[in-house]
Chains A and B, each alone.
Chain A
Amino acid sequence: MIYAGILAGGTGTRMGIQEMPKQFLPLGNQPIIMHTLEKFLFVPDIDIVYVAVHPHWMTYFDDLLAKYIPTQREKIRIVAGGEDRNDSIMNIIRDIQTAGAVSDRDMLITHDAVRPFVSYRMIIDNIHAMESGNAADTVVVANDTIVESIDGKTISSIPNRTHMYQGQTPQTFKINSFVQLYENMANDVKKTLTDACKVFVLNEEPVVLVTGEYSNIKITTVTDLKIAEAMLGESVQ
């Protein structure tokens, strides 16, 4: 089985709008998350699309679904988002496990709800990457020089840019591999994890690179939202 997991557990504080998580803000004629969700619903290889939503917003999201995507409800499951990204992922996995046995080939394609410009090609490439590994990360070549500063005041190192990539989503992994590695990690290490791929990297498990696109932006700030609106431009109906 191929599952997708749209991660929408955030509460939107970075947008400066406390009330409304950013994935629910409109882009064109629909909330951002509906654009993202529909793209995954249009991939025939995907069996079920999970959406992890902050518990306070689950009913709200359910109402949005009824309004915007009333016909494909049987392919969508909603679970409560966790305290952090991997916690949300584990909530999705627990629901998958409750529904039935998980085979070693079953995969979960995780994706940020606030990246509505993800393409069909990226999703398919993530699925195909599972033929050569247990985990995959969508990346773009870093155009800007990355500098590291430990103290936040001066540069401590400048890594070689030719080896630098910027991580996007989707991130995809075989469910059983992820669970086995994640559950064997100490709780304090788990808290340092910013994404699913790091679970594999810390365990020295290879993570396959999938080519992303610069247009696959993450709408996190008001500026990002303005860029996204400009990208849609006059084509908004």
Chain B
Amino acid sequence: MINRVYQLIRPYSFSVKYEEFLIKNQDTIVVRPHYIALCHADQRYFQGNRPSKILQQKLPMALIHESCGVVVYDPKGDYQAGDTVVMIPNQPPHHFQFGTEFYENYAKGGYFRSSGHDGFMREFVTISRDRIVRYSAIPDKVAAITEFVSVGVHGITRFKQVAHSRRKRLVIWGSGSLAYAVATLAKEEFPDSTIIVVGKNSEKLRLFSFVDEVYDVSELKDDFTFDHAFECVGGNGTQDAYREIIRHIQPQGTVIMMGVSELEVPLNTRDILEKGLTWIGSSRSGRTDFEEAVRMMEKPQIHARLNLIIHESHPIQEIQDIYHFFEEDTVTPFKTVAKWDI
């Protein structure tokens, strides 16, 4: 069949590539994307906010790694045409062994869709059987951000394995989409803990009605403290966030680093040593994180909360709508999704 792949060929410029695909083995499933969601990483490619060498290496490339879709063909028949699934953009190398202490999302030799490999902006996606997860009780536009939620799940999984057992006060640092998703998950996962959010944007902070304490970073008192932190800031604000976290965190606390910064970030290592802190880098996610994300998101209170940070843009019915989608995302405070109707 001739498939259409909508690629970013250079910043601010999309083009369609016609690509023949043949279903070569019984493990390949064909999925029609239904809803897509934008990530900062996609926006950085679209706007050309990556080093020019990276852009030269990676483009042309189809963007988007957050999508839910509908199965249209499964050669084995495990999935029926019409089954709704979320797609996992991470593809570990063939030799990767699951079920060990190592995570698929850090394995060398794999690839990630929309980072050096075509993402989900296609008419149809051919994908391995183990790279889709079925869902049923999640609204489609919320299911579109499952990958994003699974990144939060992965951060919490890392935290549960590493952090010491005093978890009375947990802080989520940031007021954006990732902070919101992590706070939503943490509230569910740690019902006995006090869940605290610290951010800069008071408008956004108002949305965190379900957490126990919310602070504007400028109002923090010297005696403000917590046991562990999830850093969900990224970008230019990362340095300030780390400085404040180190200042307020209790000794031997764990910091889960989740925000992406293009720049190197100076750290107050003296105080990190003095307090005996544990720093964990956490990025992307794997199949088990997706399964857990779907399980959590099927709970009505979880998908209802996540629904609040989702802005649904116009359906994408022609290439012009793709530009509109990316541009609209720059003026929406949280996540932007759209029905993939092209």
Cβ contacts under 8 Å, B32 to chain A: 42, 120
Assess whether A116 is in contact with B2, with CB atoms less than 8 Å apart: yes
Assess whether B17 is in contact with A235, with CB atoms less than 8 Å apart: yes
Contact residues of B between 1 and 42, Cβ < 8 Å to A? 1-2, 4, 16-22, 30, 32
A41 located at the interface, meaning its Cβ lies under 8 Å from any Cβ of chain B in the complex: yes
Task: Give Cα A1 to B17, complex, Å.
Answer: 33
Task: Give Cα A120 to B30, complex, Å.
Answer: 13
Closest to B81 in A: A44
A18 located at the interface, meaning its Cβ lies under 8 Å from any Cβ of chain B in the complex: no
- The stretch that binds B, out of A28-36, A142-150, A152-160, is A28-36
Chain B count of residues within 8 A CB distance of the other chain: 23
Assess whether A29 is in contact with B20, with CB atoms less than 8 Å apart: yes
B70 located at the interface, meaning its Cβ lies under 8 Å from any Cβ of chain A in the complex: yes
Closest to B75 in A: A71
B72 located at the interface, meaning its Cβ lies under 8 Å from any Cβ of chain A in the complex: yes
Cβ contacts under 8 Å, B1 to chain A: 34-35, 38-39, 42
Task: Give Cα A124 to B21, complex, Å.
Answer: 21
Distance (whole angstroms) from the CB of B318 to the closest CB of chain A: 8
Task: Give Cα A215 to B4, complex, Å.
Answer: 11
Assess whether B342 is in contact with A233, with CB atoms less than 8 Å apart: no
Chain A count of residues within 8 A CB distance of the other chain: 27
B82 located at the interface, meaning its Cβ lies under 8 Å from any Cβ of chain A in the complex: yes
B173 located at the interface, meaning its Cβ lies under 8 Å from any Cβ of chain A in the complex: no
Cβ contacts under 8 Å, A117 to chain B: 2, 18
Task: Report B179-198 CB contacts with A as 1/0, cut-off 8 Å.
Answer: 00000000000000000000
For the complex with contacts A42-B32, A71-B75, 18 further pairs of A-B residues with Cβ separation under 8 Å are A27-B20, A29-B20, A30-B22, A35-B20, A38-B1, A39-B2, A42-B30, A44-B72, A117-B2, A117-B18, A119-B4, A119-B342, A215-B16, A231-B18, A232-B2, A235-B19, A237-B21, A237-B22
Most chain A beta carbons < 10 A, residue from B1, B17, B21, B123:
B1
Q: Which 5 A-B pairs have the closest CB atoms?
A: A38-B1, A44-B81, A28-B20, A42-B72, A235-B19
Cβ contacts under 8 Å, A28 to chain B: 2, 20
Choose among A41, A121, A124 the residue that contacts B73 (Cβ–Cβ < 8 A): A41
A43 located at the interface, meaning its Cβ lies under 8 Å from any Cβ of chain B in the complex: yes
A186 located at the interface, meaning its Cβ lies under 8 Å from any Cβ of chain B in the complex: no
Task: Give Cα A235 to B2, complex, Å.
Answer: 10
Distance (whole angstroms) from the CB of B107 to the closest CB of chain A: 26
Task: Report A38-56 CB contacts with B as 1/0, cut-off 8 Å.
Answer: 1101111000000000000
Would you mind naming 9 contact pairs between A and B with Cβ atoms under 8 Å apart? A38-B1, A39-B1, A41-B73, A44-B72, A117-B18, A231-B18, A233-B18, A235-B17, A236-B20
